[in-house]
A and B are shown apart, each in its own frame.
Chain A
Amino acid sequence: MTFISNLINGISLGSIYAIIALMLNFAHGDVIMIGAYVSYICTTSAGIPPILSVVIAMAVCTVLGILIEGLAYRPLRKATSLAVLITAIGVSYFLQNSALLIWGSNPKTFSSIVPFDSIALFEGKLIITAESIVTVAVCIVIMIGLTLFTKNGKMGKAMRAVSEDKDAAQLMGINTNSTISLTFAIGSALAAVAGVLLCSAYPVLIPTTGSMPGIKAFTAAVFGGIGSIPGAMLGGILLGIIEIFGKSYISTELSDAIVFAVLIIVLLVKPTGLLGKKINEKV
């Protein structure tokens, strides 16, 4: 039974990684943290219902994402990817320290936004938390929605075109700046959802709450294959399962090391990731 319960926890944690992994941006983990804080403040200080607090968090993060893109990344559109990477690290520290300044360093105890009770199966031997069910369900809905959006929609096609060849897309009349803004807006709104789900399952909220999940989600994206939605999903869930299994069967301290060791092995054996096709230049 512990095996099944570990598996479910792993899939649930992995679903969160998968949502974060849709967006490749080193500061993305910190957007998640901001989303969680906004939801926390809304529910505790303003008494706003949890579901509404998620919507507000999504709105705040959407604006934040567009601002980050416009102020930090847009001026670097023609710069080397190293400059963009270092800027992303800067944005990450900026967000963490802003959170520290606004909300302080004391851990906040996030109360779950999921209003249902856990489900007990097999006479209470297997307990599935409502959070994990909601997390997995939300992840599936997001993945399907996003797949449809990028596959069929005009804006989705523009996004794929811009990520493959920015200059050529521009010569097709596509406004690359607004397309990239839209990508950040969607990614950041989803980050808010991921932040709330993460903190519902692991309720300690501090300014660095998002950084480790952010890096792991980056790992998941590379693991599954950069630029592929099913890849992000697969990479995220596998990573979540590996992490939880590592924690419970090998060592809590070593679980992160195991996760990254797996990444190194995957990169050595299949550098394009599990579902990756071709590596395109990507910022």
Chain B
Amino acid sequence: MDKMVPYPSGAIVPERDVEKTPILETHHLGIDFGGLTAVDEFSITVGRTEISGLIGPNGAGKTTVFNLLTNVYQPTRGTIMLDGKPTAGKTTAQVNRMGIARTFQNIRLFSNMSVLDNVKVGLHNSVKEGFFASVTHSLGYGKAEKKANERALRLLDFFSMADMANADAGSLPYGAQRRLEIVRALATNPGIILLDEPAAGMNPSETAELMENIRRIRDTFNIAVMLIEHDMSLVMNICEGICVLDHGKIIAKGTPDEIKSNPAVIEAYLGKKKEADGNAQG
């Protein structure tokens, strides 16, 4: 199987990980809804510290792929290997613990909870604490809670959000809510993070900051990032490997330069050349 990035590209991460098992592999993944095939023959390999992009026209099945990867949907065909282990039959929560986290196209924070608590929900599985300790604030509670607080604050600080820790998540401005979703996902300590349209609704300067943040996430946490995005300049700028989906099928895979010049991609986005000419004349 081809890696989405076939060779070490760029020197952002000192040692590339071509030798190690990929963080994510899918083989002939497919799902049908009733008679409709939403995704078919989806086979990719994502390296441990790779930034990859999933693009394609509206309705191509990109979010469905994310839902498959996180076991929100159970695949009709094919297998998913996460960190070298199959995810079949696992629950969404179990798959998360195996090392995959995500954000949502429409922000889905716990809006009635504080910013800090949102991150601490993400830390759920890394905090050990007894039932009664949490009521009585005794012994184990203090220690575990202090640790969780520290970690949550450090994560927030990474995105310059520590000063908002006590605000209600729902009251944050839009851009900050998007960032908080990423922080919350990172709190679950994933090996790969899936970002569903992270730049949606952002202005150019916010998008530039987001790009910087995505690189920092990869470099600091040493994890893979996979994103769905319609903003082509963002995708072409930061993704090392790109996978193009159309009508549920992969029509192209490769580096940004390869994708830009791929005739099948141009056709999917702009229509067939003849048609386009015809429209222009008509």
Q: Which residue numbers of A lie inside 8 Å of B, CB to CB?
A: 145, 148-149, 152-158, 160-161, 164-165, 167-176, 277-278, 280
Contact = CB atoms under 8 A, between A and B. Distances in A.
A148 B122 CA distance: 20
A172 B96 contact: yes
A176 B91 CA distance: 10
Interface of B: 70, 72, 91-93, 96-97, 101-102, 104, 108-113, 117, 120-122, 124-125, 127, 129, 131, 133-135, 137, 141, 144-145, 148, 170, 184-185, 187-188
Contacts of A160: 110, 112-113, 117
Contacts of A172: 93, 96, 101, 121-122, 124, 184-185, 187-188
Contacts of B117: 157, 160
A94 B108 CA distance: 38
A145 B137 CA distance: 11
A62 to B, nearest CB: 13
Given A173-B96, A174-B124, A165 B108 contact: yes
Q: Which of A153, A170, A174 has the most B CB atoms < 10 Å from its CB?
A: A153
Nearest to B110: A164
B175 to A, nearest CB: 19
Contact of A173 (B113, B124, B144): B124
Contact of A278 (B111, B127, B185): B111
Contacts of A173: 93, 96-97, 122, 124-125, 188
Contact of B110 (A145, A148, A154, A165): A165
A171 B182 CA distance: 12
Given A164-B110, A165-B108, A174-B121, A152 B91 contact: no
Given A153-B141, A169-B121, 14 more contacts: A153-B131, A153-B134, A154-B127, A154-B129, A157-B124, A161-B121, A164-B111, A165-B108, A172-B185, A172-B188, A173-B93, A173-B97, A173-B124, A173-B125
Q: Which of B92, B102, B104, B137 has the most A CB atoms < 10 Å from its CB?
A: B92
A148 B102 CA distance: 30
Q: Which of B70, B109, B124 has the most A CB atoms < 10 Å from its CB?
A: B124
Contact of B93 (A145, A170, A277): A170
A155 B70 CA distance: 23
Q: Which of A153, A154, A160, A168 has the most B CB atoms < 10 Å from its CB?
A: A154
Given A168-B104, A168-B108, A171-B70, A154 B93 contact: no
Contacts of B148: 154
27 contacts: A152-B145, A153-B131, A153-B135, A153-B141, A154-B129, A154-B134, A154-B144, A154-B145, A155-B131, A156-B134, A157-B120, A158-B121, A161-B110, A164-B112, A168-B110, A169-B110, A170-B91, A170-B92, A170-B93, A170-B96, A171-B102, A172-B101, A173-B122, A173-B125, A174-B93, A278-B112, A280-B112
Contacts of A152: 134, 137, 141, 145
A160 to B, nearest CB: 6
A138 B16 CA distance: 61
Q: What does DSSP make chain B's interface, helix, strand, loop or mixed?
A: helix
Contacts of B93: 170-176
Contacts of B145: 152, 154
Contacts of A168: 104, 108-110
B70 A161 contact: no
B109 to A, nearest CB: 8
Q: 4 tightest CB-CB pairs across the interface, nearest first?
A: A153-B134, A173-B96, A170-B92, A168-B108
Nearest to A186: B131
Contacts of B72: 167, 171
Contacts of B113: 157, 160-161, 164
Nearest to A148: B135
A169 B141 CA distance: 22
B188 to A, nearest CB: 5
A278 B113 CA distance: 12
Nearest to B126: A173
Contacts of A157: 113, 117, 120-121, 124
Nearest to A165: B108
Contacts of B134: 148-149, 152-156
A173 B206 CA distance: 29
A172 B190 CA distance: 10
